[in-house]
Structure 1
Amino acid sequence: MRGDGDGWAVGPDGGRRWGVHGAAGLLLRAPRSDGTPAVLLQLRAAWSHQGGTWALPGGARDSHESTVDAAVREAQEEAGIDSTSVAVRAERVTSGRPGSWSYTTVVADAPAPLDTTMNGESTELRWVGEDEVESLPLHAGFAEAWSALRTRPVRMLLDTANVLGAGGPSGWWRDRPGATGALLTGIAAALPRTVELPDRTFGWVSRVEAVLEGRARSAIVDNDRTRVHTADGSGDDELARLAAAVAPDTSAVPATATALDPAVTVVVTADRGLRARLPHGTMTLSPSAVLGWL
Structure 2
Amino acid sequence: MEFTDYHVRLAAYVLIVDEVDGQESVLLTWWNGEGHSDPEWSLPGGGVDFEESIRDGAVREVFEETGHHVELGDLLVDHYFTGRGRSFDGWFRSQRFVFDATITGGELGTTEVDGSTDFARWVPLAELEGQPRADIVDVALTARREREARR
How does the TM-score come out when normalised to structure 2? Answer: 0.68
**Rounded Cα–Cα distance in structure 1 between residues aligned with 2:57 and 2:102:** 16
Deviations 1:173-199 (A, max 9, x none): xxxxxxxxxxxxxxxxxxxxxxxxxxx
Q: Relative to 1, partners in 2 of residues 1:80 and 1:71: Cα closer, same or farther, differing over 3 Å?
A: same
Instruction: Work out which of the residue numbers 45, 53, 58 in structure 2 matches 1:71.
Output: 58
Aligned AA (1:123):
D
Structure 2 matches for 1:121-200, cutoff 5 A? 121-139=116-134, 141-142=135-136, 144-151=138-145
Q: Which blocks of at least 5 consecutive residues in structure 1 are unaligned?
A: 1-11, 152-200, 204-263, 265-282, 285-294
1:59 aligns with 2:46: yes
| Structure number having the greater strand percentage | 2
Q: Which blocks of at least 5 consecutive residues in structure 2 are unaligned?
A: 83-92
Aligned 8 A contact 1:27 1:56 in 2: yes
User: Aligned-pair distance for 1:108?
Assistant: 1.7
- Report SS of the residue matched to 1:74: helix
RCO higher in structure (CA 8 A, sep ≥6)? 2
Aligned length: 136
Aligned 8 A contact 2:65 2:120 in 1: no
* Structure with max Cα Rg: 1
Aligned AA (1:59):
G
Aligned match of 2:97: 104
Aligned match of 2:147: 202
Aligned AA (2:131):
L
Aligned 8 A contact 1:30 1:109 in 2: no
User: Aligned-pair distance for 1:147?
Assistant: 4.6
- Report SS of the residue matched to 1:68: helix
Aligned AA (1:148):
T
Instruction: Work out which of the residue numbers 13, 17, 22 in structure 2 matches 1:25.
Output: 13
Aligned 8 A contact 1:93 1:103 in 2: yes
Aligned match of 2:74: 89
Aligned match of 2:108: 116
Q: Relative to 1, partners in 2 of residues 1:202 and 1:48: Cα closer, same or farther, differing over 3 Å?
A: farther
Aligned 8 A contact 1:130 1:150 in 2: no
Identity rate, percent: 23
Instruction: Work out which of the residue numbers 67, 73, 76 in structure 2 matches 1:80.
Output: 67
Aligned 8 A contact 1:93 1:104 in 2: yes
User: Aligned-pair distance for 1:67?
Assistant: 1.9
Aligned 8 A contact 1:29 1:110 in 2: no
